[in-house]
Every structure is written in C-alpha cells, then in structure tokens.
Amino acid sequence: MAAKKAVLFNFWGVVVPSRPAGVFHKLEELHNLASGDRPARLLCLLGSNFDLVLQSCRSGHRVPEVAMFNSALDQLGIPSQQVGGVPLRATQQLSPDAGMEAVLVENLEVALRKLAHFTGVQAVGAESRPITCCPDQVSHGYVTLRPGVRTHYVEMGSGPPVLLCHGFPESWYSWRYQIPALAAAGFRVLALDMKGYGESTAPPGGHTHKYNPETQCDLSFWSSKSIPQVTLVGHDWGGALVWTMARYFPERIRAVASLNTPLFPPDPSKPASEKLKALPAFDYQIYFQKPGVAEAELENDLERTFNIFFSSGREAVDRLSERRGSALEVRTSQIPRSSMLTEADLRYYVGRFRGSGFRGPLNWYRNNQANWKWMCSQPTGKVAVPALMVTAGKDPVLLPAMSDGMEDLVPNLSRGYIEDSGHWTQMDKPAETNNILISWLRETHGPPAPKL
C-alpha cells in the first residue's frame, strides 16, 4: 500500500490566537507567501503536502483523542488494524513506529524542524524545495485557436496574469515549482504546453513554416482568456519567444522575464544557419536539422533521453561531451536519474513524449532560418517594458556572458544570477528562482490587492 500522510491540526481559532499567528508568519517567510489570510494560506500549504488535513475545531475532537485518529483513518480509507494498536491516553504515548508523532510547539524553530524530519516535508532550511503542483491536482484547460489547432495549459491563482513558456524538451510541468508559488504571491498563473508539445497540437505533416514567430506568438489564446496584456516568463526556447513578443508586440506585454536565454537580436548580414556553425556550444542544433534522424535517437529510449538532458549544475559537466556527434553522446553508459527529478517526475515526462514524440519540439530548431528572415523584415526597436534577465553560472550552453550588453536594447532591465544553477534553472534551483521572480513581479506590479 502506498504511504499516506496526514496532519491532525489542533487549532481552535480565537482560543490560542498568538501562537498560530507566529506559526503563520514564519511559514509566510519560509515559503514567500503574501501576508494576510493566514489560516487559509497555512491550510493551503499543508494541503499541498498531505493527503489529509484534519482540523480539530471542525471535527469536534482534540488531538490526541482516539476519535480524531479514527476520523482520519476513515477519510484516508485505511483500516485501523493496518495502523496497529496505539495507546492514546496521553500525547507522549503516540508511537512513531505506528506512523504517529506529536510535536509540542514550545520553540517554533525546533517544532518545525521536528515536523520536517518526521514527515519528509521540508518546512525549514535554506535547501528546502518549494511545493509543487501535481498534474492531477491542478486545473487544465484547452483553447481551440483555429480548426485543428489547440493549446493546452494549466491555470492557478488570481490577480495580474503571468504566462509561463517552457523550452526544449519540456512541458508545462517544468514550471511545477513556480505555479503554486506565483499563485500564492497573488498572480493568475497560466503555464502552456508550447506548440507541438504534450497536449498542444503540432502542425500536421511537420510543416515547419507554421512555427514562425507570428504563429508562435498567437495572440488569440490571450484574447480567448480575456487577457489584454500579460507578463511573460520564458525559459530556453520559451525565453527566445518572450523576447520576440516583447520586441515586436509590445502593446500586449506588461513585462517580460527570461531564464537563461538572453535577447539575441537578428543580424541581417549573417544568416542564422551561418551563425550556428560559428558557435560550438550550439552544434547539437545543426544535428537537429535533418528530419527523422534526431527523432529516432531521442525516442529510442525516452527514460535515458531525459536522464541525459535533465542534469543539474553539478551533474552537467560529467554528462555532456565536449563535442557531440549526436544528441545523446555522453562519457558513460550508466545514466542515473537526475537529482532534479523524482521517479514520478521522470515518468510524467516520458509519458508526455511517448504520446507526442519529438517531431513537434524539434521543428522549433528547424525554423531558425525562417525566424531570422521574419525578424529581419520587422521594424527594429528596443524592449521598452520592464524586463528581467536571470542567468545561471553552471549553464554549459547559455553562458551568462552572452547577456552582456543587453541593457543597450532593454533599458528597463533587472538582473538575477544563480551561481550554482545549470540550464534547467526553475527545476535545479526552484527556491532561488521563485524568490527572484516574485520579488521582480511585485516590484513591477505592486503589492497584491487586498482580498475582501
């Protein structure tokens, strides 16, 4: 039987207002939550980590009364005999061996540390990873943009809209650490499956011309969601897209942020294909150009593919060759799962790409030349909206130095830097990423509106 976790919360509201207020305030600081609505926000935080949150003030029982535990077992669908006989005459008699433990809140720091140790839910410490949203516990939506063209997205929260755009080879799920955090900070978060990924349709027959910037930046999605302006946050290819949006469609952009990907303005004197050949770090993009070749390699063993791609800053140096004759040439044949991914995370990515394949995602690379021609044909100008560029010290491809001088084209540019992050910043260092994004979003949009 899969392990289930419950928290039995002995909270009676106004009877003990001072101590819960301290707990709520501490959790707000630890998880970067907006202040206010403290009981609701704490319960939301607990509910994201436990199968059941049972409040004594709602059940009519107090912890550690036997009826409180029996109620929890009933709601979890666990027969009492699977828990074992536990004497409950006193709190001190709860048995950790039976999966129960009481935490006495005499000192808040110690109590939170004990709770984290017992449950595995990290509530304290600089290395704590933010809560995530599970695919089956978040709202999914679909928008038909035109016949045969559909966009899949997930949505959470209310407030100013923030649109999250992932890169290659990813999914909306790559933002799983950011979606709850940004929503809790007071924003309406929409994370897309980009064109050709997951449940968002790819152009039939692999037509790469339908990946040009005008269709990539399809504004009808925003209109269908009644969003006149949006703040864009992108990573990798998503970063390239959000810079394109901010430069060529500024009237629809409130602010723009990119993780790892700097603004690369087109050079009319040098075609994109020629520029790639001069950059050894991008040699894999040349390999991706021939239809069918990279697909066969990447789809042959999806688990191995994602174990190689998704390397943290510490792992990337050991996994990638200096010069790749293929997409997946590495120095060792034994590729363990990345420390960034749980087993469930890996299964989700494998499942998404087993259904959609790599043809759609690879076509983003195959449209480079057409993108270059389109951008060269457009009026040039600066990015005037508030902007954020976050670089990662251990990214082996998109080096921080590539963003040098961006202020010339983006005068209202803020910067963030994460020294120990590799390319997959929002998964590698999610807490640091969230802190940078939320701080910038609040500075750009102002404090969250008070709730009635």
pLDDT for the residue numbered 129: 79
* CATH 3.40.50.1820 domain residues, the chain: 135-445
- Dump pLDDT digits (tens) for 305-353: 999 899 776 554 444 443 445 555 544 556 788 888 999 999 999 999 9
Q: Coil, helix or strand for 328?
A: coil
pLDDT for the residue numbered 17: 34
Low pLDDT (below 50) residues in the chain:
1, 11-21, 82-95, 98, 122-126, 316-324, 330-331, 452
Tell me if 352 sits within 8 A of 171, measured CB to CB. Answer: yes
Q: What token pair was written down for 250?
A: 């500024």
Q: How many CA atoms lie within 13 A of 87 on its CB side?
A: 4
Q: Which of 153, 193, 365, 428 is catalytic?
A: 365
Q: Confirm whether pTM is higher than 0.75.
A: no
CATH of 6-119, one of 3.40.1710, 1.25.40, 3.20.14, 3.40.50: 3.40.50
Asked if 423 is an active-site residue, the reply is: yes
Report whether CATH 3.40.50.1820 matches the domain 135-445. Answer: yes
Nearest residue to 42 via CA among 172, 182, 184: 184
d(CA 369, CA 374): 9
Tell me if 141 sits within 8 A of 152, measured CB to CB. Answer: yes
Q: Please provide the size of the chain in residues.
A: 452
Tell me if 192 sits within 8 A of 151, measured CB to CB. Answer: yes
pLDDT for the residue numbered 205: 58
Secondary structure (DSSP) of 49-77:
H-SEEEEHHHHT--TT-HHHHHHHHHHHT
Residue 390's contacts (CB-CB under 8 Å, 6 or more residues apart) are 257, 258, 259, 260, 415, 416, 417, 418, 425, 433, 436, 437
Return the amino acid letter for 389: M
- Dump pLDDT digits (tens) for 433-449: 999 999 999 999 987 66
Q: Which of 236, 345, 395, 428 is catalytic?
A: 236
Tell me if 201 sits within 8 A of 149, measured CB to CB. Answer: yes
Q: Which DSSP letter does residue 283 get?
A: H
Q: What is the dihedral of CA 112, 426, 434, 154, to 10 degrees?
A: -100
pLDDT for the residue numbered 239: 96
pLDDT for the residue numbered 194: 93
pLDDT for the residue numbered 323: 40
Q: Which of 61, 152, 166, 423 is catalytic?
A: 423
Asked if 318 is an active-site residue, the reply is: no
Q: Coil, helix or strand for 219?
A: coil
What residues form DSSP beta bridges with 192? 153
pLDDT for the residue numbered 276: 76
Asked if 267 is an active-site residue, the reply is: no
